[in-house]
Structure 1
Amino acid sequence: MTNDLGALDSQGWWAVVVTYEGKATCARFESVRPAEHPGGVWARPGEWSSSLDEAAYMAGVERIRSAIADGVVYQANLCRVLSAELPGESSIAGLGARLATGNPAPYSMTMKVPGLEVACASPELYLSRDGDVVESRPIKGTAKTVDGLTAKDDAENVMIVDLVRNDLGRVAEVGSVEVPGLCELEEHPGLVHLVSTVRARMAGGGWPELIAATFPPGSVTGAPKASALDLLEVLEPVPRGPYCGAIGWVDADAGRGALAVGIRSFWAENGLLRFGTGAGITWGSDPLREWRETELKAARLLEVASGDGAGPDLAERGTRRS
């Protein structure tokens, strides 16, 4: 196991987690096989606390709108982290298995190594690489149904596509960056997303250079990225950890890999189970609507963590502040 991203260009099959704050964990495995996934209850709905309650989150939305009016940013992704006590007998591996059945996602992954336990059900591709061809599929625009999507969602998606094009352009061959898919509709359990595809051919370098040019993912930061990161550091009271970072695998021997944006993800830390949720804020954002979007994104996943496969819509229940 190493914290050096350069190892991903060496040899072997690696599981990778990079926290939003930039700490990398790369674990090389001699073989990959199904693991035991015990069941259990990880956290009941009423047990979760939130780093930002409804009032604080809505105030943060207004702060971002003021920053947009002042020309500091034109989009920022405001997030909050939920926490609950993790029962000692509960297994992250078991939670990963429940996510795979209760909330199937294209970039599901469970990783448990010393000092790090993550169960991910991400629908969003941060980076894939096949030789020198790289691709990112940012998600921007979320609603319960297609009818709930608005012009704001399209505008937000296009903003982030421009950011991702610029990020990939730092390491791409001149003229190779393209957008083969823009604002395409994807359906996932309990909600719909707008997804775009940005593709490029690398001019040189490896995983460290690629991640350095594009991290943190644009869809969970904002634009301009540097200004959004400064603003979010002020507004968000706790670190995001693996949430909004990168989670995935790299086959160094084959020159291939796929890293998801670390959304729809749980992680264990200091006896607590944590989960992050957020929303992209633009000038057209309504604070209450954005709060409800964070609830919508969390609802199904918190239901899975309760050990129940069905139940009332948790988006209607809210959370309490720690």
Structure 2
Amino acid sequence: MNVARSGSSNRSSTPTPVTPSSSSSHAVIISAVIDWPPSSKNVASGASSGTSSASRQMAAICVGRSTRPIVAPAAGPPHLPDCPAPAGVRGPFRRLEEAPGPPPLLASETPGRRVRRDAPDRARPAWRKQMAGDRKYHERTVAPVPDPPAAVRRLAAEAAGDHFCYEGPDGFAVALDPVAELVADRRRLLLRGPDGDVERAWSAEALRRVPDLLDELPLEAWRCYGWAGFELAAARDGLTGLAGDEPFLHLVIPAAEVRFHASGTLLRALDPAVLDVLQERVEAAPPPAAEVRPRAVPDQDAGAYLDAVEKAVRYIRDGRLQKVIVSRTVPVGFPVDLPATYELGRRANSPARSHLFSLDGLASAGFSPETVVEVSKEGAVVTQPVAGTRARTGERDRDDALRHELLNDAKEGYEHALSFKIAVDEMAELCPDHPVTVREFMAVRDRGTVQHLASSVGGTLTAPAHAWDAFAALFPAVTTSGVPKRDAYEVIHELEPSGRGPYGGAVLTYDADGTLDAAVVLRTVFQRDGRAWLRAGAGIVAQSRPERELTETREKLASIARHLVPQAG
């Protein structure tokens, strides 16, 4: 087997072949994982890598054997090939491609005609009538803000209507006053725009054509912000009975934006007069940070969760599936000040992404440990499977011991490798004309009160595939669903007493130039109609112990519960 390793000085250079016989521990682990069963020599000689022999053996069982070349960075952890998916696993990208023809039209529509109608669910906002001449965003760059989380808190707290804040790879961004929105449930997909509304009967093909609908909006250089609920996956795959009646996709394009960068703060608005208002708010002194004492959150329904885990383990041992993430909901006994909670929690956490939003009555603040997918405008795709957890206490010696335990736990290694393999399979199906690049494998990432095993898998899209196809192919994250995904949707629906909504789904930004960034919704507090709640889950495999999985949910809940700020009064 040849393993291609890219040069460190020039990423575009031709990969140089190396073989598993290399003296590096990384090459030894590649050999141990791919050439199963590994020899005792290979297993033992990889001990210096920090990954236990038990974890590597579990990874080998999961991944199997392959001779297809892969691409690896010049220095870094081991990498695995795009192996065939296990029986019963079919990528959502393939399912979307199989849907024939255009999306079905409603009885009131004819092909090629946009239907202008009043929104059936709520009154048309006044700003919608004032948008006729404003199609281009006006921009202004002002000085960088020294404390973006505080500025985000201020903008969100003072927002008169719906808003969406997203921390992406380039910094924080705040979207205000939606000028267009797209909402989908199991009955329909509805786009409300400046020139009227377009409605489609729900189908997987209608979902796939979301970029076409957005491109028809009379707006230049737009950016969408929004969330995709976990139930979107079931509806996309034909399991509409599992989707419930609530919306499972909500995207908005704002009339005004603030994007915080280290080099400066970009203000954008369709109305140039709004730029002055935005600048005044951004440059104003932020309110004092909230001070809060941790308040107890009731740990209810622990017994029901233990029962659900036991049942999931039985399903796995009976061969129904290989892994499933089972979650539980914990109510918060007081209304939460979400902007203040976001600021406080962001200072204490080290997330991959973070968000704060209020859309159509549903509000949320969270700190995601991983991304579902990242797509550049050039078509580079990355996904970050995260699975395997131990607590993080802040005490160095204790955390080092827990880290060692995490790296040497066979169950955690198997759980991660199983999720990693599916991520590689899905990436290979999405990017068939390019090699799959494994940038990182089983690294430990600190995320607030927990530490995780994390990997990174990359690929390159080939036209006509685009960013939305990548999102469809990789959503939901295997680390919030299971293996196979479709069977996991059914088991989750059976074992969890309520629908997930955004939990386990994604928050995302999607730009007109094809850039997309989507993060998994975890470590999050939700609020609607004065009722607030938390949710956390654990990955269940055949080796799972219910008590340990319950403990894992408590560790994850703590990363957000300790930062909850009650509403004043």
Normalising by structure 2, we get a TM-score of 0.50
Q: Name the counterpart of 2:201.
A: none
Q: How far apart in 2 are the matches of 1:251 and 1:208?
A: 10
Letter of the structure 2 residue corresponding to residue 305 of structure 1 = L
Q: Name the counterpart of 1:28.
A: 253
**Structure 2: runs of 5 or more not aligned:** 1-180, 184-190, 192-206, 216-220, 233-247, 261-281, 392-401
1:117 partnered with 2:363: yes
Letter of the structure 2 residue corresponding to residue 2 of structure 1 = L
Q: Name the counterpart of 2:389.
A: 142
- Assess if the C-alpha contact under 8 Å between 1:107 and 1:248 holds in 2: no
Q: Which residue, 83, 100, 108 being the options, matches 2:346? A: 100
- Residues 176 and 116 (structure 1), Cα distance of their counterparts in 2 relative to 1, 3 Å cut: farther
Q: How far apart in 2 are the matches of 1:152 and 1:234?
A: 24
- Assess if the C-alpha contact under 8 Å between 1:98 and 1:304 holds in 2: yes
1:162 Cα deviation after fit = 1.3
Q: Name the counterpart of 1:311.
A: none
Q: How far apart in 2 are the matches of 1:275 and 1:209?
A: 31
Q: How far apart in 1 are the matches of 2:553 and 2:432?
A: 37
Q: Which residue, 311, 315, 324 being the options, matches 1:67? A: 315
Q: Which residue, 461, 475, 481 being the options, matches 1:221? A: 481
Q: Which residue, 305, 308, 314 being the options, matches 1:57? A: 305
User: The residue matched to 1:32 in structure 2 has which SS?
Assistant: strand
Letter of the structure 2 residue corresponding to residue 194 of structure 1 = L
Q: How far apart in 2 are the matches of 1:92 and 1:70?
A: 43
1:158 partnered with 2:405: no
Q: Name the counterpart of 1:312.
A: none
Q: How far apart in 1 are the matches of 2:231 and 2:541?
A: 23
Aligned-residue RMSD, C-alpha: 2.5
1:103 Cα deviation after fit = 2.2
1:55 Cα deviation after fit = 1.6
Give per-residue Cα distances to partners, 1:12-42, cap 9 Å, x unaligned. 1222211111211112233225777786699
1:7 Cα deviation after fit = 4.5
User: The residue matched to 1:119 in structure 2 has which SS?
Assistant: strand
- Residues 7 and 120 (structure 1), Cα distance of their counterparts in 2 relative to 1, 3 Å cut: farther
Give per-residue Cα distances to partners, 1:271-306, cap 9 Å, x unaligned. 211221010011111110110010011113101115
- Assess if the C-alpha contact under 8 Å between 1:42 and 1:95 holds in 2: no
- Residues 71 and 213 (structure 1), Cα distance of their counterparts in 2 relative to 1, 3 Å cut: same
- Residues 269 and 175 (structure 1), Cα distance of their counterparts in 2 relative to 1, 3 Å cut: same
Q: Name the counterpart of 1:257.
A: 516
- Assess if the C-alpha contact under 8 Å between 1:37 and 1:94 holds in 2: no
Give per-residue Cα distances to partners, 1:93-122, cap 9 Å, x unaligned. 222112111223230121223333221211
Give per-residue Cα distances to partners, 1:136-167, cap 9 Å, x unaligned. 10110100230331121111111011111222
- Residues 155 and 165 (structure 1), Cα distance of their counterparts in 2 relative to 1, 3 Å cut: same
User: The residue matched to 2:365 in structure 1 has which SS?
Assistant: strand
Q: How far apart in 1 are the matches of 2:528 and 2:474?
A: 26
Percent identity between matched residues is 25
Letter of the structure 2 residue corresponding to residue 210 of structure 1 = A
* Greater CA drift, 185-194 or 9-18: 9-18
1:175 Cα deviation after fit = 4.2
Give per-residue Cα distances to partners, 1:232-257, cap 9 Å, x unaligned. 1100001111111101323333x323
Write out aligned runs for 1:156-305 (5 A).
Answer: 156-203=415-462, 204-253=464-513, 255-305=514-564
Q: How far apart in 2 are the matches of 1:208 and 1:100?
A: 28
How many residues are matched? 302
- Residues 199 and 74 (structure 1), Cα distance of their counterparts in 2 relative to 1, 3 Å cut: same
- Assess if the C-alpha contact under 8 Å between 1:173 and 1:200 holds in 2: no
1:85 Cα deviation after fit = 4.3
- Assess if the C-alpha contact under 8 Å between 1:103 and 1:189 holds in 2: yes
- Residues 199 and 250 (structure 1), Cα distance of their counterparts in 2 relative to 1, 3 Å cut: same
Q: Name the counterpart of 1:315.
A: none
1:81 Cα deviation after fit = 1.5
Q: Which residue, 126, 130, 146 being the options, matches 2:372? A: 126
Query: Which has the higher Rg, Structure 1 or Structure 2?
Result: 2
- Residues 43 and 126 (structure 1), Cα distance of their counterparts in 2 relative to 1, 3 Å cut: farther
- Assess if the C-alpha contact under 8 Å between 1:69 and 1:283 holds in 2: yes
- Assess if the C-alpha contact under 8 Å between 2:385 and 2:419 holds in 1: yes
Higher relative contact order by CA 8 Å / sep ≥ 6: 1 or 2? Answer: 1
- Assess if the C-alpha contact under 8 Å between 1:156 and 1:280 holds in 2: yes
- Residues 49 and 284 (structure 1), Cα distance of their counterparts in 2 relative to 1, 3 Å cut: closer
Q: How far apart in 1 are the matches of 2:223 and 2:380?
A: 19
User: The residue matched to 2:563 in structure 1 has which SS?
Assistant: helix
Q: How far apart in 1 are the matches of 2:508 and 2:288?
A: 22
Normalising by structure 1, we get a TM-score of 0.85
Q: How far apart in 2 are the matches of 1:205 and 1:37?
A: 45
